[in-house]
Amino acid sequence: MASPYTPPVQLLIDELGRLPGIGPRSAQRLALHIIKSDEHDVTRLAQALVDAKQRVKFCTVCFNLTDSDLCNICSDTKRNSSIVCVVEDSRDVVALERTGEFRGRYHVLLGLLDPLQGVNPEHLKVRELLTRIKPEEISEVVVCTSNNTEGDITAMYLARLLSPVGVEVSRLASGLPVGGDIEFADEVTLGRAFGNRQRMEA
């Protein structure tokens, strides 16, 4: 059966449906929204897509997103260069920056190890991390990967890789989220929070 949509609409639905997390229904809804939108808004969205793709590159040092050679964090001389936070992608940089807790540097891996899916160290910016970590300049590497299987594997791999180099490797604490009720916590989280319990200062 021929597509029931007129060709330019079907083409747009197909293109939108290739984006991650956009299923066939969302793609239809978005396409109809585009058709109903102001032409100026559509042109601006199309331009933003092309611009972002053409102008944005990865920082040559940490692989964060930037529109010049160095990202705004690597080029900020006021930040502490002796501590490096290793993250999966730029979203995590943004999330950590929002906490205001960290004033060091980042290293973006552009993914997490996932051997079952064939994602090995050579697919990530691991070699670049190793070249960058010099014990005379860097004292601590904080592995800020997600608290899931891929995050665990990546953290363990990096800890084994970096320990011989002579830097301290740490990882984000695992435990109850702030505001998290014990009765609603899953047993793995609760078990880990119990195992990692911290001495209180009286």
Query: Under the criterion CB under 8 A, does residue 172 sit at the interface with a copy of itself?
Result: no
Query: Under the criterion CB under 8 A, does residue 29 sit at the interface with a copy of itself?
Result: yes
Nearest residue (CB) to a copy of itself, 54 versus 77: 54
Closest CA to 188 of 143, 148, 145: 148
Query: Under the criterion CB under 8 A, does residue 52 sit at the interface with a copy of itself?
Result: yes
Residues contacting 168, CB < 8 A, separation 6+ = 139, 140, 141
83 SS3 class = strand
Which of 79, 97, 102, 189 touches a copy of itself by CB under 8 A?
97
Burial 155-170, CB ≥16 within 10 A → b, else e: bebbeebbeeeebebe
Longest CA pairwise span in the chain (Å): 74
Query: Under the criterion CB under 8 A, does residue 26 sit at the interface with a copy of itself?
Result: yes
Which of 74, 93, 169, 193 touches a copy of itself by CB under 8 A?
93
CB of 100 to a copy of itself, least distance (A): 9
Which of 60, 76, 81, 94 touches a copy of itself by CB under 8 A?
94
- Chain centroid to CA 56: 16
Query: Under the criterion CB under 8 A, does residue 85 sit at the interface with a copy of itself?
Result: no
